[in-house]
Structure 1
Amino acid sequence: MEGFDENEPEAADATPSLAIEPVYENVYEFVDGFVRPMFRRNPKQYLWAENWFDYPEVLDRFEAMWRAWEWDRLPDQAGMTAMAAFWKDTFDPLMDVITGEDGPFWRLAADKYKSSQADVPEMFPAQRPDDE
C-alpha cells in the first residue's frame, strides 16, 4: 500500500496521562474541602441538601466542577487566568443552578421559608454516602 511504512510506530494513546496527583481524591472530598467552605451564602436565598449526593444531577455537576478545578489549578493548562475563568464560567453558574429555587433542590424551597436562620452559615451541612 502506498505511503504505508511497516516500521511506523503504532499511534499513541489519545488520552494523555497526568503525572500530577489531584488535590482531592474524589468528588465528595472536593465538595467538603472546597465547595462548602467557599460557598457561604444566606440560607434564606439558597437551597442546600445535606444529602446532595443523592441527587444525580447535583452529583454530576459537582463531578464536572471538581474535574474542571483540578485541571484549571495547574499552571500550564489554561494560563494565568484559569482560576478566574473557573469561578466565572464554572463555579458560579453551576452553584446558581444547584442551589436555585428551580434547581434540583426545588422541593426544599417550602422549608427554606420556615427557617428563622438569617446568618450566613460557616458551611452548608453535609452528610457522606454510606458506601464511602
Structure 2
Amino acid sequence: MADDPEPDFEVPMGLFQDMEDLKAQVAALSAQVKTLTAGGGEGAGEAFADDDTEVGEEAEEPEAEDGWQFPPFILLLDSPQYDDELRGLIEWVEGVLVPGYLAEPSSDARWCPNWFEHPVAVARLHACWLAWQELTDPATCGYTGPSVWHRDHLDPCLRELRPSNGPFAGCTKGEHQIDHRMPGIVPSAWRREEA
C-alpha cells in the first residue's frame, strides 16, 4: 500500500482562503477568551467593538458623532439637534412614507398633516425611519431587510398611529388637536378615597 500513488484531485483556491479566514477567526476568539479570563477590564458580558481584530490588536471603539454611539431617541434631544433630526424625519415622511404607504385618510385610517406636532407620532415615525435606514442599506440588511422593515417596523407603527382612537383621533380635515388625549381631570377610580 505504500506504493499507492496519492489520489489526483485539485483543491479549490476558495477552500484555502476559507481555511485562512477560519484560522484568523479562531485566533481572534482565542485572544478574546484570554483577555476576558485574565480580567482585562472588560465586563463579562461585553462584546468587542470589532470582531475582525487580529491577535495582539486592540479593538477600536466605534467613533460617534456628537457624543452619540447610536441614534438617539428623538424626544430626548434639545435644539438644534432635535430640529436637525426632525428636519430629516420630515423629509423622509413627506418624501417616502406619505406618497408610498399612506392612502387617503379616513375615519378608520387617520393621518394628520401636522403629524410633527404630535410627540407620539414623532417618536414612532422616527423609530420607523431609523429602522428603514438600517434595513434598506445593502451593507447591513441582506436580502430580507426590507421585508423585516415592513413586518416589524412599518406595519406596527401605522397600526398604532392611524386607528380612530390613535394620536390623530381629534384631527380632522378642518381641525387639528394635539393634546386631545391628555385627560384634564383624573378619573375618580384613580383617586384614593379618604376613609
Give the equivalent residue in structure 1 for 2:144: 81
Give the equivalent residue in structure 1 for 2:123: 60
Q: After the TM superposition, list the runs of 4 or more consecutive aligned residues in structure 1 that deviate by more than 6 angstroms.
A: none
Q: Deviations over 1:105-125 (max 9, x none)?
A: 1223xx47xxxxxxxxxxxxx
Cα 1:26–1:42 change in 2 (3 A) is closer
Q: Structure 1: which amino acid aligns with 2:97?
A: V
Q: How far 1:77 sits from its partner (Å)?
A: 1.3
Query: Structure 1: how far apart are the matches of 2:111 and 2:92?
Result: 16
Q: How far 1:78 sits from its partner (Å)?
A: 2.8
Q: Deviations over 1:9-33 (max 9, x none)?
A: 776324578xxxxxxx710100011
Q: Which residues of structure 2 form unaligned runs of 5+?
A: 1-37, 41-55, 66-86, 174-195
Secondary structure at the aligned position of 2:120 is classed as helix
- If each structure's helix is expressed as a fraction of its own residues, which one has the higher value? 2
Secondary structure at the aligned position of 2:140 is classed as coil
Query: Does residue 1:91 correspond to 2:180, yes or no?
Result: no
Q: Which residues of structure 1 form unaligned runs of 5+?
A: 18-24, 113-132
Q: How far 1:76 sits from its partner (Å)?
A: 2.9
Q: Structure 1: which amino acid aligns with 2:99?
A: P
Give the equivalent residue in structure 2 for 1:12: 60
Query: Does residue 1:70 correspond to 2:133, yes or no?
Result: yes
Give the equivalent residue in structure 2 for 1:107: 170
Query: Structure 1: how far apart are the matches of 2:159 and 2:150?
Result: 12
Give the equivalent residue in structure 2 for 1:117: none
Q: Deviations over 1:37-75 (max 9, x none)?
A: 112324222111111000001011111111111111111
Q: How far 1:96 sits from its partner (Å)?
A: 1.4
Q: Which among 114, 133, 137 is matched to residue 51 of structure 1?
A: 114
Give the equivalent residue in structure 2 for 1:29: 91
Query: Structure 2: how far apart are the matches of 1:3 and 1:70?
Result: 37
Cα 1:15–1:68 change in 2 (3 A) is farther
Normalised by the size of structure 2, how large is the TM-score?
Answer: 0.44
Residue identity (%): 28
Query: Structure 2: how far apart are the matches of 1:15 and 1:59?
Result: 27
Cα 1:43–1:15 change in 2 (3 A) is same
Higher relative contact order (CA closer than 8 Å, sequence separation 6+):
1
Paired positions, count: 100
Q: Which has the larger radius of gyration?
A: 2
